[in-house]
Amino acid sequence: MKEKRKQSIRLCGLLSLLLLLALLGGCKKKENTEAKTDEEGYQIYYLNKDETATATVNYQPEAKDTDGLIQELLKKLATTPEGGSLEAALTDSVFVTDYTLDNGQLTLHFDPAYQDMDWIREILCRSAVVRTLCQIPDVEYVSFLIGDNPLMDLDKNPVGQMNADSFVENTGDAINEETVTTLTLYFANKSGDKLVKEKVNVTGSSNISVEKLVVESLIRGPVSGDTDYPTLPPGTKILSISTKDGICYVNLNDGFLEQGYNVTEAVTIYSIVDSLTELSGIIKVQILVNGETDLVYKESMRLDTIYERNLDIIEQRE
């Protein structure tokens, strides 16, 4: 009965799901808003006893160098704090076997038993680990590998790179709630050299960011298929998506680079940029492929450019 009651509390979601991974992750280097200096204390993230939310305990590490900090914080993440009200994120069966740090990207290798966690605890564990380690000044993003394979989400897509902004907390019944959002999207005209505006109502989970809804809708294609035309190759998948300081970072798989529809490269790029900049708080867009920006899309659109809204490419219809 105790276990059933615990599971019921968790699924009702009295303070749960830390989601939105898109996320991110996989983005160009950004300012790490939670990074600490050597003089500041850290917060270690733990799980509450019901495994419905994370909680923090202040901590002053002894290590001063980056490698020492990573090892010390991983050890704290595997240690249950005193008091009995919190649980360690890492356990005897969920543990890091190895890690590498390269240019701000911390990659954690987990034992295969990591995959045995149920999905609620896994998300909470992931959030606790990422938010704790991203406080280290030299750690900008964290990636999870199970053995040597990338961690996959519930839709069997790679979770990708994450930072503290990759997670949001929902409360109560909002966890699984469906919402209807009106989006302004830009697709191609018949000749494929201009964008046309289309307003659509999209139904999605409240745990999915509006930015992700926008790009997913672009991949699906226009509602008015007889007058408006798709811009993104059908093999395009979102690896992560997040917004920081007015810039939306969109990390796509290499399906984005495949031969798609008969549209110009500018139409494809600005289909994403102009659609996302319709959202409040987004001024510019950075597009990445597998976390990389050192690429040229088709022949002329450099991905190391942060793009702003382009009104000249929009076709005016009466």
pTM above 0.85, yes or no: no
Going by C-beta distance under 8 Å and a sequence separation of 6 or more, which residues neighbour residue 145? 107, 108, 109, 110, 151
Tokens of 267: 């139409």
How much is the pLDDT for 172? Answer: 41
pLDDT of residue 25: 40
Q: In what order do the strands lie in the sheet with 238-244?
A: 238-244, 247-252, 284-289, 307-308
In this prediction, residue 21 carries a pLDDT of 41
Q: Is 66 helix (H, G, I), strand (E, B) or coil?
A: helix
Give residue 85's pLDDT: 85
Residue 255 and residue 236 in contact, taking contact as beta carbons nearer than 8 Å: yes
* Helices 265-276/210-220 angle, 10° precision: 150
Q: C-alpha dihedral over 216, 218, 223, 224, to 10 degrees?
A: 180
Contact 123, 117 (CB under 8 A): no
The confidence score (pLDDT) of residue 308 equals 96
Specify the pLDDT at position 36. Answer: 59
* Domain extent listing, the chain: 2-173, 177-308
Mean pLDDT score of the chain:
82
Positions of the chain with pLDDT lower than 70, given as ranges: 1-40, 155, 167-179, 204-207, 225, 318
Per-residue pLDDT, 117: 87
